[in-house]
Amino acid sequence: MATAQSPRDPQCRADLGAQYVTRTPHYAGQHQSFYDELLTQGVLKPLTSLIEGMVVKEGDCNFVAPQGISSIVKHYLKESGVEVSYGHRVTEIYLKDDKWEVHKEAGGSELFDIIILTMPVPQILQLQGDIKNLISESQKQQLTSVRYSCRFALGLFYEAGTQIDVPWAARYILNNPYICFVSIDNQKRDIDAADSGPSVVVHTTTSFGMENLEKSIEDVQDVILQQMSSVLPDLPTPASTTCRRWTYSQVTQTIPHCPGQMTLHHNPLLVCGGDSFTRSNFDGCLESALCVMEALKPHL
C-alpha cells in the first residue's frame, strides 16, 4: 500500500502498489465494521471508473482510496495513537532477561516487551541473533515454503493542464511480456487533475520483474518507458518519474493452511503476521491482524 507523490506537487499522487480494494461476499460480513469505518471517514469510496480487463466476480465490491492507497495505513496508525519510528532496519534480535533486545543496521539497540514481525518472510529468515534458534524446524519448513511474485512499478507525474486522452481510467494489458497494467491514477481515484496535474502508474509483469530483479532502477525505468510507447504512443513526456522495485510483491504461496499468524516465542511474545499467513489482499491483512491480536491479548 504505497503511494508516491510528485516532487513538485504533493497533491499529484500515484499508487505504486495495491490499486484498489476488492471486498468479496465471504468477507463482507466478517469485516463489515472495517469497511463501514473507512467509507464513513472517506478513506475509501466505491470504484466507479472504468478499469478495462478487470475480472469482476458476482458479489464483489471494489473501492478506491481518494487520497492514495497509503491513506488506509495512515488512518489506522493515527487511530491507534502509536508513535511510529521510520527508517530503522532491524538486523538482530536477542533474548535478554525476559525482554527482546533489537539491534539496528545503523547501530544501537532497544529493549522491547513484545515483538510483532510483519515484513516479508524472507526478511524474517534473514534476521540474526537468538531468533534464528527460536524458530523450530517445522516452522522453518513452513516459512521457507512461502513464495512471492516480484515486479516493478513506475509512476509518471505531469504538470497541471496536461491531457491524457484515453477512454478508460485503468487497463490490464494482455499478451505483453513487459507491462501488465496501466492506470491514469487520478482518474482511477476519481480526482480532478485540473489543479494538480494527472499521474500514470505502470506495473510490469512478474516475469519481467524476475528477469530484471538485479538490474539498476534507472535501466529498468528506461525499458519500461520504451515499452510504454507501444501501449500508449501519444503519452506526453512526464515532468518527473519514480520507479519502485517490489522484490516481494504479492504472495503466490502462503504458509500452509493460512493460520493468520505464527508464534515463535511465548514469553516474552514474538509473533509473525501479514499476508504471508493468509492471502495478499486487504481482507487477508485484516484477517492476519485479528489473529495476531488473539495471540497478543493474554500478554496485555
Q: Does domain 114-146+254-299 have CATH number 3.40.50.300?
A: no
**CA nearest 232: which of 189, 152, 187, 176?**
176
Per CATH, which fold does 3-79+149-251 belong to? Polyamine Oxidase; Chain A, domain 2 (3.90.660)
Residue with cell 493460520: 259
pLDDT in tens, 256-296: 999 999 999 999 999 999 999 999 999 999 999 999 999 99
Residue with cell 504505497: 2
Residue extents of the structural domains in the chain? 3-79+149-251, 114-146+254-299
pLDDT in tens, 196-239: 899 999 999 999 999 999 999 999 999 999 999 999 999 999 99
The model carries a pTM of: 0.93
Assign 192 a pLDDT band (cuts: 50, 70, 90): confident
d(CA 18, CA 4): 12
d(CA 101, CA 107): 13
